[in-house]
Amino acid sequence: MDVPEKSKIVEDGYNQIADIYHSLRLAKKDLNYQYFDNLFHFFPESGKVLDLGCGGGQPLTAYFADKGFDVTGVDLSREMIEIAKTQIPQGRFFVSDMVECQFTGEEFDVIVSAFAIIHVPQERQLILFKKIFEWLKKNGTAYLVLANQDVKEWREDFYGVEMYWSHFGKQKYQELIDEVGFELIWDEVENLPNGEVFYNVILKKE
């Protein structure tokens, strides 16, 4: 499979499950807000935030919007973006592959991405990390929810649709973070109640 075929699986899949996925995220909003509150001291108090693979905007884009940040969200799925627009009317949202986004350099104070880079083909992830570095302002902060296991390609049923995942694990991500020039200021291997494990990081561009 080439990259467009892989992206199409993800795009079509999330277009079909946008409503159900959004309601599940909304149901956990309070819990997620508590989690972000504990990390908020790592972030600036205001500024411009970019959420890559923002989905329906809940909970992450909404969290920063509620704190008064100027938020931009990008997602492959137009259905997800339509939901995000209703959730955060003051936000700027557009449909795009996060790897293909065009921003002028050093535009954002904060870049976040939760449970989305896990869908970006391994061969494109170094390019993506370099772009995140480029789009962040000096002293900018990135919060990324990454995978904890190296899996080149994995396709499975996800809420009744076909889905595609591709990711590295903790060790390789630490190498990428280093290679790109980020400073790793916080990390955590997070074990979710459903048995899934993620590698969460906060990075600084010095």
Ligand X SMILES: C[S@@+](CC[C@H](N)C(=O)[O-])C[C@H]1O[C@@H](n2cnc3c(N)ncnc32)[C@H](O)[C@@H]1O
Q: Rule CB under 6 A: which residues touch ligand X?
A: 10, 14, 25, 53-55, 60, 74-77, 80, 97-99, 114-116, 119-120
CB-based contact 51:113 (threshold 8 Å)? yes
Of 57 and 140, which CB lies nearer to ligand X in the complex structure? 57
Residue nearest to ligand X (CB): 55
Of 49 and 60, which CB lies nearer to ligand X in the complex structure? 60
Kindly give, in sequence order, each residue whose CB lies less than 8 Å from that of residue 87, ignoring residues fewer than 6 positions away. Answer: 56, 57, 58, 61, 62
Of 164 and 182, which CB lies nearer to ligand X in the complex structure? 164
Amino acid at 188: E
Residue 46 C-beta: closest distance to ligand X, Å: 22
Q: Is 10 left (phi over 0), alpha (psi -120 to 50) or beta?
A: alpha
In this structure, how many other beta carbons lie within 10 angstroms of the beta carbon of residue 70?
16
Residue 138 C-beta: closest distance to ligand X, Å: 25
Residue 175 C-beta: closest distance to ligand X, Å: 21
Residue 9 C-beta: closest distance to ligand X, Å: 10
Of 116 and 132, which CB lies nearer to ligand X in the complex structure? 116
Of 200 and 206, which CB lies nearer to ligand X in the complex structure? 200
Residue 206 C-beta: closest distance to ligand X, Å: 26
CB-based contact 140:110 (threshold 8 Å)? yes
SS3 of residue 171 by DSSP: helix
Instruction: Please tell me the distance from the alpha carbon of residue 43 to that of residue 49, in angstroms, as a whole number.
Output: 10
